[in-house]
A and B are shown apart, each in its own frame.
Chain A
């Protein structure tokens, strides 16, 4: 039944073995260098979350011993965890990077954007992001998105073309073959680039462990004053919580994802080291989103809805 291959090769048994982390790292570095070789003004979207921190780490390695030839762009909702902002500023200073900040607050102050009744600022990020890209003439924008995060993202390209309005036109998505990325774009268009496309959450954490990458401390278990809203543990803060009927308590928690304070939930956890975090994630029965976005938990139609709305 089997036609035996002529030269059986088992990479695991030779000196030329590459672990899955080695292979993913090599691919991501290749992507960074392709962009450096083909674009005029690339920028890395940097939130201070673990995925953007891993991106920066890969970029540092890709161009060593030269500095990273890209600036950073932070879209600042104004609802930041102070630990994350401090981390961002330390990273910028340590690696002598240029940081652009596009602040939602500025747009609210100028009357361009209006605060939403629910206080959420995540939906308000798009305008500052696109303005930041346009005004700085960035032509390639690195994002930390991973295809394992969501069904809709499973179909995203590594190089994803955006038109003059920053929009994603599915008809214009290009087939991506081999490792030949096509970054051609017209003036005013830009390309979103996802170097971590093929990484999973666990890969990211294993890589953080292997490389000894420092993270904002809120990723590890700590005592925090939190209150419950929509099934999530949220941190009390100026952004608008807690309300009167939301009692505050101190719990041992950590953050599995880090985003806007108003919609990122902490998870109960005693994982205070990287080893403990990896053990916890490997054993978790919930996805990153499921665990920290409890409001997103499957309503009857959530799956169909997501499909209909989502090509990004």
Chain B
């Protein structure tokens, strides 16, 4: 196969799609790593590379600085703004990739929560010279909180520690144990040098002691998605399709995207929150009739009985969530305006937006120590905490642990529409140490 622009086979063979996020600061070499992935997978084209070479020369660097491929934040800093996530695209013969590239340091938690929310894999970067540091633990905690199924520890700058196996092994062991304690089920560690290109795309000649995949090989082969047949069907209704034409006089279809599971014609389903039951009469896959559909397909479902269903309802099968107006959730606060008890907000869950009241902020979670700090008066930007909300109408929420799509929501400021908070129904981690220590005063380590 000849190498092509996107590395894709020339016939454009069908490939799967992997969404992943990178976590790490500039100091860890994240920009260089991302640049290396794009460059070595032949996703950087001649005119882009030419621009990087120009810019590098102007800065007095001899070799093209691959970090410049993703560098776009200086002007943002000049203007005092933060654009949270930049998305990058590349492909190999086996897979298409969507990379959520989150900047480090400033607004770190918020940015990584955003990037990780859609990711199926997170690459956590550490500097081999420093090993697992506070920020590394924070990255692991956010990946665990957002239930990112796969985590890769990229131990970078191996060239600066003489490509020494013991250095890598110690870091990998420490990190893997920590991630496992947070409930992360799949951790793979790869020793790399983003600068020299070791084990990013090409296997390293300097580390013959390492027998595992390169970072890209792992990205190409890691399982994508979950098994729809092992999950209960969840189908949030987005829109009711009623052509009201002569040909489709009685057509009434419920349009949506399967959040999880499989739906088959003939399946018994329940409509929530009303609780009405019926069966699936037909499934239209974007204009064509089909017998079954699975997550994350967008389809239109027709039901056997004439039930009053509209946008915001959930068509579900399998173990059902109990609709509730009392929502307990772990949240990450995203906005500069703090979230206080008593705040009246809007809550958007799947396709349903309802009014909600912040009844209680149960505790704040110290993302570094994972301790619960009770007595928090409010949540500030980047804070992670646990809240109790009361909604005006019942919601069919799954636990976020079981379903990232039907277990998540956002809080919105009704006055101007600002997205305030990201919410995940249920408890945060599999293991959380508790203590009753009062909340610490303002911390400065976010800036």
A179, B6: Cβ atoms under 8 Å?
Answer: no
Min Cβ gap A245→B in Å is 27
* Chain A 279-303 interface mask (CB, 8 Å, partner B; 1/0): 1011111110111000001101011
Min Cβ gap A230→B in Å is 15
Q: Which of B12-20, B24-32, B194-202, B320-328 contacts A (4 or more CB under 8 A)?
A: B12-20
- Neighbouring A residues of B422 by C-beta, 8 Å: 175, 177
| A202-B6 contact in complex given A16-B227, A64-B286, A147-B89, C-beta closer than 8 Å | yes
- Neighbouring B residues of A2 by C-beta, 8 Å: 176, 186-189
B238, A37: Cβ atoms under 8 Å?
Answer: yes
* Chain B 85-122 interface mask (CB, 8 Å, partner A; 1/0): 11111010001101000000000001001100110000
Q: Which of B125-133, B364-372, B405-413 contacts A (4 or more CB under 8 A)?
A: B405-413
| A3-B15 contact in complex given A66-B248, A303-B54, C-beta closer than 8 Å | no
Min Cβ gap B349→A in Å is 8
A25, B298: Cβ atoms under 8 Å?
Answer: yes
* Chain B 307-349 interface mask (CB, 8 Å, partner A; 1/0): 0000100000000000000000000001000000000001010
CA A27 to CA B180, docked complex, whole Å = 32
A283, B2: Cβ atoms under 8 Å?
Answer: yes
A175, B334: Cβ atoms under 8 Å?
Answer: yes
A67 contacts B by Cβ under 8 Å: yes
CA A262 to CA B50, docked complex, whole Å = 26
- Neighbouring A residues of B223 by C-beta, 8 Å: 5, 8-11
A285, B45: Cβ atoms under 8 Å?
Answer: yes
The answer, among A3, A25, A175, A308, for a CB contact under 8 Å with B75, is A308
Q: For the complex, would chain B's binding face be called helix, strand, loop or mixed by DSSP majority?
A: mixed
Q: Which of A45-53, A109-117, A120-128, A181-189 contacts B (4 or more CB under 8 A)?
A: A181-189
- Neighbouring A residues of B346 by C-beta, 8 Å: 184
A22 contacts B by Cβ under 8 Å: yes
- Neighbouring A residues of B118 by C-beta, 8 Å: 177-179
The answer, among B224, B228, B296, for a CB contact under 8 Å with A26, is B296
CA A247 to CA B334, docked complex, whole Å = 58
In this complex, the interface size class of chain A, counting residues with CB under 8 Å from chain B, is 35 or more
- Neighbouring A residues of B48 by C-beta, 8 Å: 287, 290
A66, B241: Cβ atoms under 8 Å?
Answer: yes
- Neighbouring B residues of A18 by C-beta, 8 Å: 16-17, 225, 296-297
The answer, among B54, B79, B184, B284, for a CB contact under 8 Å with A64, is B284
The answer, among B83, B89, B257, B405, for a CB contact under 8 Å with A173, is B83
Min Cβ gap B154→A in Å is 13
Q: How many A-B residue pairs have CB under 8 A?
A: 261
B149, A65: Cβ atoms under 8 Å?
Answer: no
CA A33 to CA B258, docked complex, whole Å = 13
- Neighbouring B residues of A16 by C-beta, 8 Å: 227-229, 262, 294
CA A180 to CA B350, docked complex, whole Å = 7
A290, B5: Cβ atoms under 8 Å?
Answer: no
B386 contacts A by Cβ under 8 Å: no
Residues of chain A from 126 to 165 with CB closer than 8 A to chain B in the complex: 147-148, 151-152, 154-155, 161
A282, B4: Cβ atoms under 8 Å?
Answer: yes
A177, B410: Cβ atoms under 8 Å?
Answer: yes
B51, A147: Cβ atoms under 8 Å?
Answer: no
B185, A154: Cβ atoms under 8 Å?
Answer: no
CA A41 to CA B17, docked complex, whole Å = 33
Residues of chain A from 1 to 42 with CB closer than 8 A to chain B in the complex: 1-12, 14, 16-27, 29-30, 33-34, 36-37
Residues of chain B from 397 to 447 with CB closer than 8 A to chain A in the complex: 404-405, 408-410, 412, 416-419, 422
- Neighbouring A residues of B287 by C-beta, 8 Å: 60-61, 64-65
The answer, among A37, A180, A198, for a CB contact under 8 Å with B410, is A180
A184, B417: Cβ atoms under 8 Å?
Answer: yes
CA A300 to CA B50, docked complex, whole Å = 10
B242, A66: Cβ atoms under 8 Å?
Answer: yes
Residues of chain A from 258 to 312 with CB closer than 8 A to chain B in the complex: 278-279, 281-287, 289-291, 297-298, 300, 302-304, 307-308, 311
B117, A177: Cβ atoms under 8 Å?
Answer: yes
B61 contacts A by Cβ under 8 Å: no
B46, A30: Cβ atoms under 8 Å?
Answer: no
A73 contacts B by Cβ under 8 Å: no
B269 contacts A by Cβ under 8 Å: no
B298, A37: Cβ atoms under 8 Å?
Answer: no
Given contacts A177-B419, A198-B89, A290-B46, 11 further A-B contacts (CB under 8 A): A1-B188, A3-B176, A29-B298, A64-B284, A67-B243, A155-B72, A161-B417, A176-B114, A180-B350, A186-B416, A200-B91
Chain B residues close to A by CB (< 8 Å) = 2, 4-6, 8, 10, 12, 14-17, 45-48, 50-52, 54-55, 58, 68, 72, 74-76, 79, 81, 83-89, 91, 95-96, 98, 110, 113-114, 117-118, 149-150, 169, 172-173, 176, 179-180, 184-189, 212, 223-230, 238-239, 241-245, 247-248, 251, 255-257, 262, 284, 286-287, 294, 296-298, 300, 311, 334, 346, 348, 350-351, 404-405, 408-410, 412, 416-419, 422
Chain A residues close to B by CB (< 8 Å) = 1-12, 14, 16-27, 29-30, 33-34, 36-37, 60-67, 147-148, 151-152, 154-155, 161, 170-180, 182, 184-186, 197-198, 200, 202-203, 206, 209, 278-279, 281-287, 289-291, 297-298, 300, 302-304, 307-308, 311
